[in-house]
């Protein structure tokens, strides 16, 4: 099983949904898409083992993969959607307030660069209520980045680490993110990203605006920001049509391709071993 499948505890969520142990999920014999992707489900230079299944959230990455000559795709819906079924909102949900704002983030191999003060000024001019600022751990652990937003008076949070090579994964990452989204009226970011789609699915009003910033070593193979602006214009702006955003979110997160537990067990060949 490729260690990317454990990112954010996604395989753990699918395991629990399918009726197996959360902490020790069965082996997933293939590759599970771990974030929203404008290509074939993975980064342009991802290496695959021949013959392995590629489990995407939706049908669009499968089609793009086929256009690249790749095969063995199966769309199953985003694990975040299964988490929402496992963790429904309480009968009396809390009153939502303010905006949960996600900064475009780097990763272990690349830092982001941009004008943080300019972004802070634009957020203050735009957001009608209190702002909670979410930093990925790669930025949260950089005091020179985190300090910008703490000094601006924002509440700053981070949901944990995605892990690497089966080590350091916060299995509750998406649980914490879902709980925080359900407290907020709006979700916003400076790039269209996974978190925006999660926010819409969790009932937030979306917005995408501000300096998109740059990351060391970004691969332009899939088209980058200009392609996103061409293909998903309905998701961009300080005010977004909510009905259109929800329709796009359902497709990008793969809601039509979700499976009941028995079908998921069959697809993954997850069976009780005796």
User: pLDDT 10s per residue in the chain (274 long)?
Assistant: 678 888 999 999 999 999 999 999 999 989 999 999 998 888 777 777 778 899 999 999 999 999 988 899 999 999 999 999 999 998 887 899 999 999 987 555 557 778 899 999 999 999 999 999 999 998 898 898 899 999 999 999 999 998 877 788 899 999 999 999 999 999 999 999 999 999 999 999 999 999 888 776 666 766 678 899 999 999 999 999 999 999 999 999 999 999 999 999 999 999 865 4
Domains of the chain and CATH, by start: 3-87+254-268 (no CATH), 99-251 (3.40.50)
Quote the pLDDT of residue 216.
61
Q: Cα angle vertex 54, ends 111, 41, to 5°?
A: 35
Q: Cα angle vertex 192, ends 212, 230, to 5°?
A: 90
Contacts with 154 (C-beta within 8 Å, 6 or more apart), sequence order: 101, 120, 131, 132, 133
For 132, the enclosing helix (H) or strand (E) is: strand 131-134
pTM here? 0.94
Quote the pLDDT of residue 274.
40
Quote the pLDDT of residue 109.
53
Any idea what DSSP says for residue 26? P
Q: Which residues pair with 74 in a beta bridge?
A: 55
- The string over 33-54, giving b where at least 16 C-beta atoms fall within 10 Å of a residue's C-beta and e elsewhere, is bbbbbbbbbbeeeeeeeeeebb
Q: Are 53 and 76 in contact (CB under 8 A)?
A: no
């Amino acid at each position: 099983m490729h260690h990317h499948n454990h990112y954010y505890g996604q395989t753990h969520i699918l395991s629990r949904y399918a009726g197996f142990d959360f902490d020790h999920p069965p082996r997933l014999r293939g590759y599970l898409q771990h974030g929203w992707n404008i290509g074939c489900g993975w980064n342009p230079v991802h290496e695959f083992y021949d013959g392995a299944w590629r489990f995407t959230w939706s049908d669009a990455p499968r089609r793009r993969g086929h256009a690249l000559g790749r095969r063995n795709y199966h769309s199953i819906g985003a694990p975040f959607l299964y988490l929402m079924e496992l963790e429904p909102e309480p009968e009396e949900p809390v009153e939502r307030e303010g905006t949960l704002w996600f900064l475009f983030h780097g990763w272990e191999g690349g830092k982001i660069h941009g004008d943080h003060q300019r972004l802070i000024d634009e957020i203050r001019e735009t957001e009608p209520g209190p702002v909670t600022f979410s930093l990925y751990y790669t930025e949260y652990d950089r005091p020179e980045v985190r300090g910008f937003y703490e000094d601006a008076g924002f509440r700053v949070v981070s949901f944990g680490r995605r892990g690497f090579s089966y080590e350091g994964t916060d299995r509750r990452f998406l649980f914490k993110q879902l709980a925080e989204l359900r407290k907020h009226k709006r979700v916003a970011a400076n790039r269209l990203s996974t978190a925006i789609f999660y926010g819409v699915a969790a009932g937030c009003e979306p917005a995408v605006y501000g300096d998109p910033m740059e990351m060391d070593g970004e691969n332009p193979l899939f088209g980058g920001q200009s392609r996103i602006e061409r293909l998903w214009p309905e998701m961009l702006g300080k005010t977004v049509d909510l009905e259109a955003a929800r329709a796009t979110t359902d497709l990008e997160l793969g809601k039509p391709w979700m499976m009941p537990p028995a079908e998921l067990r069959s697809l993954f060949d997850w069976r009780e071993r005796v």
